[in-house]
């Protein structure tokens, strides 16, 4: 981040990196299968033939306990006949009308699709089966004392799934209010803060937040009947994070300056960011899943968005804010350095990121790294450094790595031989796992060697080329391996030189 801010010095007055939209779900895992429902009925001595009456009575009790009647008395309850109604807009109208500054804003009721259960007859036996159907959901909107604007959605039929939405920027505003910081906001964008460093420090505290107790407290407020409504089979809810947006905002001093730069960045992103680039930004292994890129006018500005399976990376502008945002919907494709879930005190290793709230800090780390790689790739296209300044360090002899007296030759990026070598090592696909001698060998010599001596000669030449690139700081060795990766600071220089190499004199003059 320091490198990005240094490059944009003078144009950017501040930055904020942290959670944006975050959605959690709570499930009674044991009840997500027909066997679990059969166990519940058996534990409570309920006959299968009484399925409809029993489940209906439980739903009535849940509705009564979930503040529906109280909300009606307070005048802040509304039934929404269409699932497509903008619930957030309705809730905000209630907040303005009732002049709510903290606490319950309203309760909205809507019939929506969900996963639940039905009773069927199979071979003259009553069997409970899972099925997609529709049931009533209650949306409780709050101005929470910690999180600010948020909602809790409760499914009022078995298996009583709960969803909670919060916004990290809304939470940050609450933190800044308590700290006495003066700021200006537009929607969920912070346009100005008196002390950017203190604001970022408050934002960073969200990374290590203890989520489970806070989420359980909100659940209990909306669903106070739990777990009594389950009778003799009390179960605990299990929390997962189903969507996590990590946004990096760069606040520009001048809106016109940002708009001008956006045209360059959008054009560069649409023209040059392919599937391998997107995977490099997110640090994902090459995969066969669909990768899509879309440029869209979202009203407040232009948005460039890249999808890879269920995760995405996007960039857009709003007022004087440039936002780059990573969205993690499928954490299983990412790795986090942790111990086994069954042995928390055991050795740590790179393991699959979990859906649970325990890996929220890992989501923050992955999102921030992806955003930084994306911004670095964007700002490289409008560097104020001259081509001479980029190329000159490569065109001089330098000391060989690990030697105090020996030198390696200068590079000539405009020559076919050295340009080919630089193109090979700067390929984004090596960013994930690094490249080896044999990888460069296969690119330089597509045809197999005629004999063992020729193969040995080729391998030795590639070894010398690796030593040459290491001497110029282009390649760095990955510790304890025979692999190398390109220095990220040098990558932008190499790509700029290679791009200029293929530009015609007319375009350079223009």
- Residue in 314, 310, 319 with CA at minimum distance from that of residue 293: 314
Q: Could you read off the pLDDT tens digit of each residue along the chain, which spans 510 residues? A: 665 776 677 789 999 999 999 999 999 999 988 899 999 999 999 998 899 999 999 999 999 898 767 788 888 999 999 999 999 999 999 999 999 999 999 999 999 999 999 988 888 788 888 889 999 999 999 999 999 999 999 999 999 999 999 999 999 999 999 999 999 999 889 999 999 999 999 999 999 999 999 999 999 999 999 999 999 999 999 999 999 999 999 999 999 999 988 888 888 888 778 777 788 888 887 665 678 888 888 777 789 999 988 899 999 999 999 999 999 999 999 988 888 988 888 898 889 999 999 999 999 999 999 999 899 888 777 665 677 777 888 899 998 887 778 899 999 888 889 989 998 888 766 766 788 999 999 999 999 999 999 999 999 999 999 999 999 999 999 888 889 988 877 876 787 777 777 766 766 665
SS (H, E, C) 442-455: HHHCCCCCCCHHHH
Q: Would you call 295 helix, strand, or coil by DSSP?
A: strand
The answer to whether the beta carbons of residues 379 and 366 sit under 8 Å apart is no
The answer to whether the beta carbons of residues 12 and 6 sit under 8 Å apart is no
Peptide bond into 227 cis (omega under 30): yes
How many whole angstroms separate alpha carbon 298 and alpha carbon 477? 43
CA dihedral 429, 434, 439, 444 (to 10 degrees): 70
Q: Work out whether the CA dihedral 69, 74, 76, 81 comes out positive or negative.
A: positive
* 12 exposure class (CB count in 10 Å sphere: 0-12, 13-18, 19+): buried
pLDDT reported for residue 121 = 84
Q: Would you call 366 helix, strand, or coil by DSSP?
A: helix
pTM reported for the whole predicted model? 0.77
Which residues have CB under 8 Å from 426's CB, separation 6+? 486, 491, 494, 495, 498
Per-residue CA distances from 175 to 100, 146, 201 (Å): 19, 8, 10
- Residue in 395, 428, 397, 396 with CA at minimum distance from that of residue 495: 428
Which tens digit of pLDDT belongs to each residue from 481-506?
A: 889 988 877 876 787 777 777 766 76
């Amino acid at each position: 981040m320091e490198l990005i801010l240094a490059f944009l010095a003078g144009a950017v007055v501040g930055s904020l990196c942290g959670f944006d939209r975050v959605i959690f779900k709570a499930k009674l895992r044991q009840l997500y299968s027909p066997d679990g429902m059969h166990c519940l009925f058996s534990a409570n001595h309920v006959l299968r033939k009484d399925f409809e009456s029993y489940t209906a009575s439980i739903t009535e009790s849940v509705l009564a306990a979930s503040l529906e009647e109280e909300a009606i008395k307070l005048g802040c309850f509304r039934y929404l006949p269409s699932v497509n109604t903008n619930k957030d807009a309705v809730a905000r109208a209630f907040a303005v009308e009732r002049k709510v500054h903290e606490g319950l804003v309203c309760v909205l009721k809507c019939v929506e699709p969900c996963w639940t259960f039905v009773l069927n007859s199979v071979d003259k036996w009553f069997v409970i089966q899972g099925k997609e159907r529709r049931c009533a959901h209650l949306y409780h909107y709050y101005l929470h004392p910690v999180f600010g604007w948020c909602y809790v959605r409760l499914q009022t039929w078995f298996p009583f799934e709960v969803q909670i939405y919060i916004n990290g920027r809304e939470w940050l505003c609450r933190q800044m209010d308590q700290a006495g910081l003066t700021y200006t906001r537009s929607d969920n964008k912070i346009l100005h803060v008196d002390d950017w460093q203190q604001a970022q420090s408050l934002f960073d505290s969200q990374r290590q937040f203890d989520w489970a107790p806070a989420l359980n407290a909100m659940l209990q407020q909306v669903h106070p009947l739990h777990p009594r409504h389950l009778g003799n089979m009390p179960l605990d809810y299990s929390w997962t994070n189903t969507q996590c947006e990590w946004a990096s905002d760069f606040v520009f001093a001048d809106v016109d300056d940002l708009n001008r730069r956006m045209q360059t960045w959008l054009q560069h992103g649409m023209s040059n960011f392919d599937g391998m680039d997107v995977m490099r930004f997110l640090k994902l292994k090459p995969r066969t899943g669909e990768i899509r890129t879309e440029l869209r006018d979202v009203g407040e500005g232009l948005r460039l968005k890249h999808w890879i399976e269920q995760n995405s990376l996007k960039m857009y502008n709003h007022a004087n804010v440039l936002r780059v945002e990573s969205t993690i919907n499928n954490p299983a494709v990412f790795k986090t350095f942790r111990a086994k879930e069954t042995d928390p005190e055991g050795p740590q290793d790179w393991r699959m990121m979990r859906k649970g709230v325990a890996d929220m800090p890992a989501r923050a780390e992955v999102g921030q790294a992806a955003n930084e790689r994306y911004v670095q790739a964007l700002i490289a296209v409008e560097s104020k450094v001259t081509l001479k300044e980029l190329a000159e360090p490569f065109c001089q002899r330098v000391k060989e790595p690990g030697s105090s007296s020996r030198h390696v030759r200068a590079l000539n990026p405009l020559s076919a031989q050295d340009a080919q070598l630089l193109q090979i090592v700067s390929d984004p696909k090596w960013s994930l796992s690094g490249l080896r001698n044999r990888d460069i060998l296969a690119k330089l010599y597509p045809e197999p060697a005629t004999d063992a001596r020729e193969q040995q000669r080729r391998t030795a030449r590639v070894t010398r080329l690796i030593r040459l690139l290491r001497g110029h700081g282009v390649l760095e060795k990955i510790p304890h391996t025979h692999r190398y990766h390109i220095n990220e600071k040098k990558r932008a220089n190499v790509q700029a030189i290679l791009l200029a190499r293929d530009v015609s004199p007319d375009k350079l003059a223009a």
